[in-house]
């Protein structure tokens, strides 16, 4: 279905390209969380929550998986508001991270087509209430910010849309602490030495 030519193939290729772009720009590493919020209705050019599509979800999932197999990040799929934007991921990951699981099975009418599809394709999937993801892609303005770590850094995508849905994405960085004396990168080969400017 997502092989060859046609709209599904274009969706798969576009999503894979976006994921790779975000992984490169945000230095996404193996095991880190990538949250995806998707409105398949918006991908088809319809109002969010009105015309979910399993075919579009399958094409998006295929694009994510193509990138994941090489990069090694962990995909997390956000449900719709009817499940309080809970998230689909593999149970082993949820247990490793100590995430609180919640009891529901996403379906297209409550959870959304993307989350419902991912729940049935990931290995031993479960739902969790919240995560703090290292990066995220929002396809169709589903609002994923509540599941991103602080501090989010927007990354302008080279591909502005998947289908008819607008795309936004971001990676995250640790908070910068300290004042005017603070240093944020370790110079190569630096050796510590005494200084009149030390604070101890």
The string of pLDDT tens digits covering residues 19-53 is: 999 999 999 999 999 999 999 999 999 999 999 99
pLDDT value, residue 183: 85
Residue 3 scores a pLDDT above 60: no
pTM to 2 decimal places: 0.89
Instruction: Establish if 1 belongs to a structural domain.
Output: no
Indicate which CATH number applies to the domain containing 93. 3.40.50.10360
Total count of domains within the chain: 1
What is the domain range of residue 155?
Answer: 7-172
C-alpha to C-alpha distance for 187 and 200, rounded to whole angstroms: 21
C-alpha to C-alpha distance for 53 and 60, rounded to whole angstroms: 11
Output phi, psi for 10, to 5 deg: -65, -40
Residue 134 corresponds to which tokens in the numbers above? Answer: 């290292």
pLDDT, mean over the chain? 93
The conformation of residue 178, written as its DSSP 8-state character, comes to S
Residue 197 scores a pLDDT above 70: no
C-alpha to C-alpha distance for 60 and 40, rounded to whole angstroms: 9
- Cβ 75 vs Cβ 67: under 8 Å: no
Instruction: Establish if 180 belongs to a structural domain.
Output: no
Residue 195 pLDDT level (bands cut at 50, 70, 90): low
Instruction: Establish if 199 belongs to a structural domain.
Output: no
Residue 64 corresponds to which tokens in the numbers above? Answer: 């994510």
Question: Average pLDDT in the 125-137 region?
Answer: 98
Which comes out higher in pLDDT, residue 6 or 193?
6
């Amino acid at each position: 279905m997502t092989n060859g030519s046609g709209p599904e193939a274009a969706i798969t290729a576009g999503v894979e390209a976006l994921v790779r772009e975000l992984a490169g720009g945000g230095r996404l590493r193996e095991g880190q969380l990538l949250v995806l919020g998707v409105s398949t209705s918006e991908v088809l050019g319809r109002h969010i929550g009105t015309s979910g599509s399993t075919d579009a979800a399958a094409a998006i999932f295929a694009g994510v998986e193509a990138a994941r197999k090489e990069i090694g990040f962990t995909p997390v799929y956000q449900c719709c508001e009817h499940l309080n934007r809970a998230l689909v991921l593999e149970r082993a990951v949820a247990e490793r991270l100590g995430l609180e699981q919640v009891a529901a099975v996403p379906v297209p009418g409550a959870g959304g087509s993307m989350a419902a599809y991912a729940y049935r394709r990931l290995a031993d999937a479960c739902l969790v209430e919240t995560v703090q993801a290292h990066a995220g892609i929002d396809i169709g303005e589903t609002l994923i910010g509540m599941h991103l770590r602080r501090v989010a850094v927007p990354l302008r995508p080279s591909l502005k849309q998947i289908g008819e849905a607008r795309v936004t994405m971001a990676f995250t960085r640790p908070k910068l602490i300290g004042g005017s004396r603070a240093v944020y990168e370790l110079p190569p080969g630096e050796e510590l030495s005494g200084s009149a400017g030390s604070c101890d």
